[in-house]
Structure 1
Amino acid sequence: MSQDLLSMLEAMRKPETRSASCDKHGPFGSRKLFGTTWSRCSKCAEEAEAEERRKQAEEVAEKQRRAWEAKIGRAGIPERFRDRELSAYVATTEGQHRALKFAQTYADRFEEVIETGKSALFIGKPGTGKTHLAIGIALHVMREYNRSALFITVMRAIRSIKDTWRKDSELSEADAIEDLVFPDLLILDEVGVQFGSDAEKLLLFDVLNERYERRKPTLMLSNLAAQEVAAYLGERVMDRLREDGGQAIVFDWQSHRGGKQ
């Protein structure tokens, strides 16, 4: 191969360069890319790539935030309680430490819980932290295990079923019951807040029994004494609660209402 041909090939392989200046970063060496197109400042290119990565990360984070907010919304968790993480629960007494330990273990081992359908009953006066711990459990299992949860008062649950009795209802009673049975974790608040009719208690039993048969865990929260809760729920429900290792956690300390408990 002649020297002239070698020189020509070498020249073709070696990109044409020229001196250029960037308004932001000053002088830089620019390479001819093709035609009349020359490379831009490498520092500007790096900054543009970093900015693009930042925007993409923000978009991903925003999508995740919206998805999480939607999931919390579907779970029925009120705006006021959406920051009730287990890590934010302040335990100062022995009883509070026991309740927190139960909630943490229940949440951490939820994949085991859902295999058995283990339920629990939180009993105590208002303001003692029952709702905080129950919602803390729900937030944990939704985030860490991508499980579904639903927080609802007994009164609203019964009303959602009875609303299907209207002639203009698009849902059947079975549909409304299924909405309460479907979530991986159901939190029933204000159990026994008012002693309902036998028909209402039967509807509640239908929900709890269906969840029992499907091994779906339920957390029940009540301001009543243990004996009153048992009378409201009935012996059949209490038997099912005990059968799967369910526990009654007593919140027997003074109210912390006004704080986040």
Structure 2
Amino acid sequence: MARSDGRPRYFSALLEQCERHGEFASMLVAGNWSTCVDCAKDAEMAEAAAAQVAWRGQLAARAWDARLGRAAIPERFSDRRLSTYQPTCPEGTRALSVAQRYADNFGAVRRSGACLIFCGDVGTGKTHLAVGVAHAVLEQGGQAVFTSVIRAVRSVKETFGKGVERTEAQALRDLVEPDLLILDEVGVQFGTDAEKLILFEIINGRYESRRPTIIISNLAIGELEKYLGARAVDRLREGGGKVVVFDWESYRGRREVAA
């Protein structure tokens, strides 16, 4: 065989033994003996497979960041998990059990549209449990969104202004489409009829689409029904929806006494 300059090129070869692939010809190339060709191919395939896994991991991480960002969980509650909820009474244990079953069986919950209403005293862990469920839904690949009623209503009312490109239908769709919507601070303000109508549109839209909602309120269930209206509460309780009453001593009150 000739080189590019026309002078002859000489190769040396030895028969070597590969533990995995058996006998192969090792060539002397640029002063180095070549290794098993099949081993080299296996290494290339393993490297390509590792790169594919890393790429998929990056895509999954980006998808997780996107879902977490859209969830809009307040920083104060971002570390809340069902596993970190510590009941201080039998009623708290039962509330945790309800939330855990809801999260563990969210596939069935999503198909039925079953909702939860967490109502009662402040500082008893309602938000902790709701955010814990949200994190579980996110980890299962679903989309959960956390918002206060005030922010939800404002996002819709902002579309009423002149020259606003985003429509009311789009604002409502952003609140209706997520797999789970958590509406916090329901009943904090009295609310106008227009605000209550917007709130009903959100709840009813999710009811019709069989999308679960968790309501968080410091109101007693009777006051909550007056605030939301009978139709809205009926929709929240239909299809296996549950009301969990948090009527035990505040965690924050316990910490203050201990201090």
TM-score (ref. length: structure 2): 0.78
SS of residue in 1 equivalent to 2:146 = strand
* AA partner of residue 233 (structure 1): L
Query: Among the aligned pairs, what percent are the same residue?
Result: 52
Structure-2 change in CA distance of 1:56 and 1:82 (3 Å): farther
Q: Do residues 177 (structure 1) and 169 (structure 2) align?
A: no
1-side partners of 2:100 and 2:51: how far apart?
A: 36
* AA partner of residue 164 (structure 1): T
Q: Do residues 168 (structure 1) and 163 (structure 2) align?
A: yes
Alpha-carbon deviation of 1:242?
2.4
Alpha-carbon contact 2:237-2:243 (below 8 Å) kept: no
Report 1:59-98 matches (<5 A). Answer: 64-98=60-94
SS of residue in 2 equivalent to 1:238 = helix
2-side partners of 1:63 and 1:33: how far apart?
A: 42
Alpha-carbon deviation of 1:154?
0.3
Structure-2 change in CA distance of 1:54 and 1:99 (3 Å): same
Structure 2: stretches of 5+ with no match in the other structure:
1-11, 17-24
Match among 223, 228, 234 for residue 228 of structure 1: 223
2-side partners of 1:227 and 1:253: how far apart?
A: 18
Aligned position for 1:20: none
* AA partner of residue 88 (structure 2): T
2-side partners of 1:91 and 1:238: how far apart?
A: 27
* AA partner of residue 202 (structure 1): L
Aligned position for 1:106: 102
Structure-2 change in CA distance of 1:33 and 1:192 (3 Å): farther
Alpha-carbon deviation of 1:103?
0.4
SS of residue in 2 equivalent to 1:257 = helix
1-side partners of 2:70 and 2:222: how far apart?
A: 33
Aligned position for 1:149: 144
Q: Do residues 14 (structure 1) and 14 (structure 2) align?
A: yes
RMSD: 3.0
Structure 1: stretches of 5+ with no match in the other structure:
1-11, 17-30
* AA partner of residue 137 (structure 1): V
CA deviation string 1:111-148 (max 9, x = no partner): 1111111111001222211111111111111212x111
Alpha-carbon contact 2:71-2:146 (below 8 Å) kept: yes
Alpha-carbon deviation of 1:33?
4.3
Match among 85, 100, 111 for residue 115 of structure 1: 111
2-side partners of 1:65 and 1:257: how far apart?
A: 35
Structure-2 change in CA distance of 1:207 and 1:15 (3 Å): same
Structure-2 change in CA distance of 1:201 and 1:34 (3 Å): farther
Structure-2 change in CA distance of 1:115 and 1:161 (3 Å): same
Match among 209, 213, 227 for residue 218 of structure 1: 213
* Deviation larger for 200-209 or 60-69: 60-69
TM-score (ref. length: structure 1): 0.77
